[in-house]
């Protein structure tokens, strides 16, 4: 037999399926039982004439299907999270490799062409200074 805790825990989900299966139940009747398995079985027996065993079997089937669907959804979400985590790690590794390659290139450039490297750094500094000065100047006007 389905336990009261199982039925109460899933009452909002199951109520619609119960109403769909036993269309002769009213919303008021379902509201009155509020997930109490004994009362629900009694109301359904009274309305439909079905046996207690048939009703309990169907309710257990609903609860078990819900648990199976929840387990499946949880497993699918875990798999997606694993794939996303692996993709993120791969992306991180690629960025790390590219940064390291550019660092090695810059290091080699400085070693093989020190004068050009100093001139390039000086030029980049001048350009950065001009851009910052222009930005500060335009902010002061605002």
What confidence score (pLDDT) does residue 49 get?
87
Retrieve residue 75's tokens.
């497993």
Confidence of residue 29 (pLDDT cuts 50, 70, 90): confident
What confidence score (pLDDT) does residue 127 get?
96
What confidence score (pLDDT) does residue 34 get?
73
Torsion angle of alpha carbons 46, 47, 51, 56, nearest 10°?
-100
Retrieve residue 40's tokens.
């629900």
Kindly report, residue by residue over 64-94, the tens digit of the pLDDT: 776 555 666 677 788 888 889 999 999 999 9
**22 φ/ψ sector (left φ>0, alpha ψ -120 to 50, else beta):** beta
Torsion angle of alpha carbons 121, 127, 133, 136, nearest 10°?
-100
What confidence score (pLDDT) does residue 1 get?
55
Pick from 27-41, 57-71, 125-139 the range whose average pLDDT is largest: 125-139
What confidence score (pLDDT) does residue 43 get?
86
Domain of residue 19, residue span: 4-141
Strand, coil or helix: what is 122?
helix
Q: What is the mean pLDDT of residues 4-18?
A: 71
Spell out where 1-142 has E strands: none
Kindly report, residue by residue over 90-128, the tens digit of the pLDDT: 999 999 999 999 999 989 988 999 999 899 999 999 999
Burial of residue 66, with CB atoms counted within 10 A of its CB: 0-12 exposed, 13-18 middle, 19 or more buried: middle
* Number of domains the chain is built from: 1
What confidence score (pLDDT) does residue 79 get?
85
What confidence score (pLDDT) does residue 4 get?
59
Q: What is the mean pLDDT of residues 35-44?
A: 81
What confidence score (pLDDT) does residue 134 get?
93
Instruction: Give this prediction's pTM.
Output: 0.43
Tokens 């450039």, residue? 109
């Amino acid at each position: 037999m389905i336990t009261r805790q199982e039925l109460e825990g899933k009452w909002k989900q199951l109520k619609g399926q119960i109403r769909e299966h036993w269309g002769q139940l009213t919303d008021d009747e379902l509201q009155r039982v509020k997930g109490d398995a004994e009362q629900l079985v009694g109301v359904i027996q009274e309305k439909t004439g079905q046996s207690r065993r048939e009703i309990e079997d169907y309710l257990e089937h609903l609860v078990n299907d819900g648990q199976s669907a929840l387990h499946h959804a949880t497993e699918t979400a875990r798999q997606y999270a694993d794939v996303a985590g692996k993709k993120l790690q791969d992306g991180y590794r690629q960025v790390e490799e590219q940064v390291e390659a550019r660092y090695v290139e810059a290091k080699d450039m400085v070693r093989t062409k020190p004068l050009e490297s100093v001139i390039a750094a000086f030029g980049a500094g001048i350009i950065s200074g001009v851009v910052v000065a222009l930005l500060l100047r335009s902010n002061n006007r605002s």
